[in-house]
Amino acid sequence: MTDYYEILGVPRDATPDQIKKAYRKLAREHHPDVSGAEAGSEDTFKDVSRAYDVLGNPEKRRAYDMGGDPSAPGGGMGGGFGFQDIFETFFGAATGAAQQRGPIPRARRGQDALVRLDLDLSEVTFGVHREVPVDTAVVCPTCSGTCCRPGTSPRTCEVCGGRGSVQRVARSFLGQVMTTQPCAVCHGFGSVIPEPCTECSGEGRVRSRRTLSVDVPAGVDTGTRIKLTGQGEVGPAGGPAGDVYLEVRERKNDTFVRRGDDLHATLEVPMTAAALGTVLTLDTLDGPREVDLRPGTQPSQIVTLKNLGVGHLHVGGRGDLHVHVDVQVPTAMDDEQVELLRKLAALRGEERPESRFAGSSTGVFAKLRDKLAGR
């Protein structure tokens, strides 16, 4: 059986710190990328790594000392100094990423755009078709996104050979090591634009105003966002377009107040009409509609007109229109009107009405309580 202690040059009772220190020293001396490494250093480095894989892991070391198979589950570099430590010791995390990344694609996805869409109550109630102007980026009509002057094309970078990165020899505490960095000439693209398009300055896109057609469904509300996939700005070098989000803002209406998909309106009614009953005409979003007030209509009474509210979003149907009755009590009357009211009060025995509280189940506050409770 291979003597891993001998390979690392430590006694069999060496502490974990002594084993780690010996491994680091030998790894620096025999790593293939270290300048001045002798022939056969790669094999020696593998032996040193294998020895530390066993002795640097307490469980594997215990199995090895007992003569068992040290290749137990949990392989890889054991202990507290694993593959990531080795990699960062010799190259650095950013260098490793650059080695594996390759050239950066010149064409990239464009950004999304957020556009505010102001709508009237009637438009959110029934839905509407709108033409929305948007300032955005489009593919350059001259170079069609190639970024090059017509008749020319990108050229492979002569410095990095199209890899998008270059290798440099750097000096560190390990000696001389090879590092990888993005190419400063092509900026990591692997190619250069010898003759950029004059219209887009080598961007492959230009700013332009477009008009987007959108069908706004019924039932949208302030804050609702409508996504237009692929209608945003084109990316650099003619890359895929982003998305456009239309954010709805509902304008205030002078007559109706929206609560969910229901509409609420206040109808002012003369005292005599409320007492005698009448039929009034109300201009709704669907045109004129009659409101039938029964004799004895009370203040704050609500008359509901079914299916005259806002359309339900995506599910069909509509909310209701709730008409709140506001009984108008006259404040200025001539002598004849006052006399008539006095006669009415006498006929009803109300010349000197008694003061009393309404019952707890019938008063104004009870009605308000029931309304808030949904009864």
The full 3-state SS of 78-119, as one line of letters, equals CCCCCHHHHHHHHCCHHHHHHHHHCCCCCCCCCCCEEEEEEE
The pLDDT score that the predictor gives to residue 26 is: 85
Q: Same domain, yes or no, for 200 and 121?
A: yes
Tokens linked to 207: 């700013």
Same domain, yes or no, for 369 and 268? yes
Residues 325 and 224 in one domain: no
CATH number for 294: 2.60.260.20
Token couple for 339? 């006399």
Residues 228 and 121 in one domain: yes
The enclosing domain of 15 has a CATH number of: 1.10.287.110
Q: Which residues pair with 165 in a beta bridge?
A: 182
Structural domain contains residue 98: no
Output the domain CATH number for residue 155: 2.10.230.10
* DSSP per residue, 282-302: EEETTEEEEEEEPTTPPTT-E
CA 308 to CA 317: how far, in whole Å? 10
* Residue 101 is assigned to a structural domain of this protein: no
Residue 327 lies in a domain: yes
Residues 38 and 81 in one domain: yes
Domain boundary (27, 59, 90) is at 90
Q: How far is CA 186 from CA 97, 124, 160, 178, 189, in A?
A: 18, 52, 8, 21, 6
Residues 153 and 214 in one domain: yes
Looking at the fold, whether 310 and 290 belong to one and the same domain comes out as: yes
Q: Do 290 and 347 fall into the same domain?
A: yes
Distance of CA 67 to the CA centre of its chain: 58
Q: Given the structure tokens 């090879």, which residue do they identify?
A: 178
Q: Based on the domain organization, do 133 and 58 belong to the same domain?
A: no
Question: What is the structure's pLDDT at 181?
Answer: 86
> Domain tally for the chain?
3
- The answer as to whether 200 is a domain residue is yes
Residue 108 in any domain: the answer is no
φ, ψ of residue 344 to 5 degrees: the values are -65, -40
Q: Which residues constitute the domain of residue 144?
A: 113-250
Among 183, 215, 250, the domain-final residue is 250
Are 72 and 63 in contact, with CB atoms under 8 Å apart? Answer: yes
* H or E element at residue 206: strand 205-216
Instruction: Tell which residue, 87, 69, 75, 72, has the closest CA to residue 31.
Output: 87
Same domain, 261 and 236: no
- Give pLDDT, residue 358: 59
Residues 121, 141 within the same domain: yes
Q: What is the pLDDT of residue 138?
A: 95
Give the pLDDT confidence score for residue 47 in this predicted structure.
86
In a domain, 286, yes or no: yes
Contact assessment for residue 115 and residue 134, using Cβ atoms and an 8 Å cutoff? yes
Rounded-to-integer distance, Cα 13 and Cα 3, Å: 14
Position 100 in a domain: no
Q: Is 246 in the same domain as 278?
A: no
Residue 69 lies in a domain: yes
Coil/strand/helix, residue 185 = coil
Residue 361 corresponds to which tokens in the numbers above? 């189940």
For the chain (375 residues), the mean pLDDT of every run of 10, in chain order, is 84 89 84 57 81 87 72 41 44 42 88 95 96 94 95 93 84 69 90 94 94 95 95 94 96 95 94 92 94 91 95 93 93 90 86 66 52 56
Position of tokens 């209406």? Answer: 253
Domain end: 24, 59, 90, which one? 90
* pTM of the complete model beyond 0.75: no
